[in-house]
Amino acid sequence: MTTPELRLLLADENAGFRAAAVELLAREGIAVETAGRVEFALQPARRADCLAVDPRSSTEAYRAAWVACRGPPLVVVTGAPVEDVPEVVLADAAAYVEKGRRETFALLGGAVRAAAGGRREPLPVTDAA
């Protein structure tokens, strides 16, 4: 196995999703450290090249944690459609990846690489009034 090119911290309550991310993203040269909740990700986030979070469990905790760590670029990865993700969360995000798609992990890997490289991906446009 080769040395990982990037370090991702994934904060997500879904243990199955975290386990799959560790396995699948390792194949792409991304080492994944996980936390079940974003509040537990403060210290590890400082060592990561990118932070991926599912903010659905607690937007307030997410925001406080991310602001406190002043950490790496953020990728929002959630099963919620983009129009249901609070604007305050998307404002901080370099990218948005929707869970539950066949290509979720490929999209996540690409988003992590882009964010770690300093690029922001265009976020989906919604028709919300």
Each residue of 56-79: pLDDT tens digit? 766 666 666 666 666 788 888 999
Residue 7's nearest CA partner among 37, 42, 40, 33 is 33
Q: What is the pTM (predicted TM-score) of this model?
A: 0.81
- Write the CATH number for 58: 3.40.50.2300
| CB-side neighbour CA atoms (13 Å) of 123 | 20
Q: For residue 124, tell me if it sits in a domain.
A: no
Determine the length of the chain. 129
Q: How large is the average pLDDT for residues 5-24?
A: 92
**Does 129 fall in a domain?**
no
Say how many domains are in the chain: 1
126 falls within a domain = no
pLDDT confidence band for 21 (50 / 70 / 90): very high
Structural domain contains residue 125: no
